[in-house]
Structure 1
Amino acid sequence: MNHTSLSADDHDAITDAAAQWCLRLQAGDCTAAEHQAFGQWLAANPLHAQEYQAMLEIWHTADHLSRPAVASNVITHSERRRSTWRHYALATAIALAALPAGAWIGWEQGWLPNSYQHLESTNTITHAVLEDGSEVELNLASELRYSNYKGERRVTLIKGEAFFKVRHDSQHPFIVHAANGQTRVTGTQFNVWKYEDRVKVTLVEGSVLVDSNSQDTEGGYRLVPGMQASYQAGDYEPHLSQTYAQDTSLSWRNGKLILDNLSLEQALPQINRYLEKPLLLADESIGNIRISGVYDTAQINRLVGNLPKVLPVYLTRNKQGNMVLNRISPPPSRG
């Protein structure tokens, strides 16, 4: 089908269908028959895939919509039908986008962003400039989303690690969400590392407010250069610490993972973020074994294979395909 021959009504119908498919496929009770029907709809016209991808972007952006905005009376019928706020957010976003003045209204009210970026790195360090002029450097296997709202700039670090050089704007704060917490700045340079539900923020320049609870929009613990904040999901408050001259938190920007006399328990989260399947410990005692060295972040699999050469351990593989570190028992002492 020639896309240029489609009428405005045809385009609107495809957009509406893409929105409905997006909502349905995210539901927990979506059936196999519906998945098959979606595949047939997707294959019927290349424009279907394009519109569906656009709806997925709106779906991800809906994560950033504030609950008060969603709880307004913009779409009362959808609110009655949907059981979760995320469905309300997507429905609101789709409805506003469909209105001629919807984008402007959404921007003015602070409900919708006027720009959105999805950044992802695989096996190389990636540098990008965000729409506001801020710069971000992504470590290997990292992913984030950026949305520019009227009142603030929002980033969600989905996985991995990112170094930010934020363009100063005191009226337009820059907020990075990671796990259940957030880091709030107006202009500075800092690093955010995330593995599973653990987060570490390292400040290089300026100041930031770090909070382990992202629902606290005004509070937080202030860092000055040379400080770090660590937390994991569920923590009441972040743990603050002072960095030291030999701190290696930013060595990844040079493609290096530096382990400076760390226990395996401490080192594994840093190692595992570069692995497709995490390396596991057979028991807690192995976590006390210490490791040092400088490693290429693109060759972490080689590091895992070499561990039995430098530590009293051997490798096995479990049923899930994870490599497991086992302690080599010392020989019995002679009486």
Structure 2
Amino acid sequence: MTSRNKAPLTNDSIIDEAAHWCMRLHSGECTDQERKEFDHWLKSSPVHAREYKAMQEIWFFSERLPRKAQRPNALPSYQRPLTRTLCSRLRPSLAMASTILVTLFVGGWFGWQKDLVPNWYQHFSTSNVVQRVELVDGSQVELNLNTAFTYLNFRQHRSVTLTDGEAFFKVNKDMSRPFIVKAGKGSITVTGTQFNVWKYADQVIVTLTEGSVKVMNDADGAKQAAMLSPGMQARYASSMPHISVQFVDTESALAWRDGKLILNNLTLVEALPLINQYLDKPVLLGDSAPVNSRIGGIYNTRNISDLVHALPRVLPISLSQNTEGNVIINGK
């Protein structure tokens, strides 16, 4: 098993392919054979799935634009508005792109005023490098390995959707426009602060270093909320009945920014999601695995596969592999 080794940024050809499939599937003329080809393309690479999801978000917001509205004299001025992003992503079909652009110009201003439509879209993803980016509102974000998120800039709020991985946010203060991070079944709301969000499958961990945040969990339709102060950490997941809150060592929680994974005497069940974040294929627990065995130590995030293969030396386990290539942990 090896850690991921791919280009950190998505190339234009994959974006073009994602745009093509998005338009074909929404055209109403897609054949069964094309759908099979699309399924094969989507499953052939995690990057394909990420870019198609980003394209779907653009399509979704274009459909929310009002169809009847007078064109304003001027739109809010930004360097790269949503319309330019749509142009670049929808190159494969000029007719379709033109239709969407007309809709954007006609209804965009009205949607912006009603806080329904963003005037800016940004998408970021990493694979084998940590990346630092700046959002259009001035906020700064540091992305861990294998992380992806989108940013949408609305008139009355700012919205981030973290789809994979982990990110540290330094939010530019704006009391009139809350900054909302959606992760899993919940969300984190701030106006200006510094905090870390980790997501794996349906599990989310929020660690606060400065300011305050409101953590919401909407699992099973039962909304729960928790307010965090610096040094506090919140966990939630669809399988958890309540948001778990505790004080933690924030330096250990954010050690990934220095290329380290710190495991503080965790059980295998607790440690595997943190380990799997850095692997191509997740390590799985077999039926006989000693799930309560504990592991600790400091590890290089670029060599997590070495950690996995060293586990039998320190724990009463053996390793096997299934037909899909996943490493399976079994008891000895």
Tell me which residue corresponds to 2:267.
263
Q: Matched residues in 2 for 1:21 and 1:323: separation?
A: 33
2:312 is matched with: 308
User: 1:205-226: CA deviations, max 9, x gaps?
Assistant: 000000002999x983211101
Alignment partner, residue 200 of structure 1: 205
Q: CA deviation at 1:138?
A: 0.4
Gaps of 5+ in 1: 1-17, 39-53, 76-90, 329-335
Query: By how many angstroms is 1:149 displaced?
Result: 0.4
Structure 1 residues 234 and 212 mapped into 2: Cα distance closer, same or farther (>3 Å)? farther
Instruction: Please name the residue that 2:163 is paired with.
Output: 158
Query: What's the TM-score once normalised by structure 2's chain length?
Result: 0.73
Listed one character per residue, the Cα deviations across residues 149-206 of structure 1 (whole Å, up to 9, x for unaligned) are 0110000000000000000000010000001100000000000000000000000000
Give the AA of the match of 1:172. R
* CA–CA separation in structure 1 for the residues paired with 2:205 and 2:143: 15
Counterpart of 1:31, as a letter, is T
Q: Quick check: 1:181–1:233 contact (8 Å CA) kept in 2?
A: no
Mapped to 1, the partners of 2:323 and 2:331 lie a distance apart of: 19
Amino acid at match of 1:112: V
Indicate the residue corresponding to 1:43 in structure 2: none
Code of the aligned partner of 2:25: L
Indicate conservation of the 8 Å contact 2:224/2:243, yes or no: no
Aligned residues: CA RMSD = 3.4
Q: Label 1:297 to 1:57 Cα distance change in 2 as closer, same or farther (>3 A).
A: closer
Pairwise CA distance, 1:305:
1.3
Q: Which residue of 1 aligns with 2:281?
A: 277
Which residue matches 1:25? 25
* Structure-1 separation of matches of 2:290 and 2:27: 42
Which of 159-168 and 281-290 deviates more? 281-290
How much has 1:112 moved relative to structure 2? 1.2
1:133 alignment partner, one of 129, 135, 138 = 138
Deviations 1:294-332 (A, max 9, x none): 11001111111111222222211012211011222xxxx
User: Is 1:286–2:286 an aligned residue pair?
Assistant: no
Q: Deviation at 1:261?
A: 1.2
* Compared CA separation, residues 312 and 25, structure 1 to 2 (3 A): same
Aligned residues between the structures: 273
Aligned twin of 1:332: none
Structure 1 or 2, whichever has the larger Rg, is: 1
**Equivalent pair of 2:131/2:144 in contact (CA under 8 Å):** yes
Consecutive unaligned residues of structure 2, counting only runs of 5 or more, are 1-17, 39-50, 69-95
Q: Which has the higher contact order (CA 8 A, sep 6+)?
A: 2
1:185–1:207 Cα contact (<8 Å) kept: yes
2:247 aligned residue: 242
Match of 1:119 in 2: 124
Q: What CA deviation, in whole Å up to 9, does each residue of 1:20-39 have, x standing for no partner?
A: 9625426999534445999x
Once residues 325 and 28 of structure 1 are traced to their aligned partners in structure 2, the CA distance between those partners, rounded to angstroms, is: 46
**CA shift digits 1:117-167 (9 cap, x unpaired):** 000011011100011100000000000000000110000000000000000
Q: Aligned letter for 1:241?
A: Q
Normalization by structure 1: what TM-score?
0.72
1:232 aligns with 2:232: no
Distance 1:266 1:255 in 2: 20
Residue 13 of structure 2 corresponds to none
What's the % identity of the aligned pairs? 45
Deviation at 1:292, TM superposition (A): 1.2
Q: 1:60 aligns with which of 57, 61, 70?
A: 57
Q: Partner letter of residue 116 of structure 1?
A: Y
SS in 1 for 2:279: coil
State how far apart, in whole Å, the 1-side matches of 2:204 and 2:258 are. Answer: 21
Aligned to 1:6: none
Match 2:105 to one of 80, 100, 105: 100
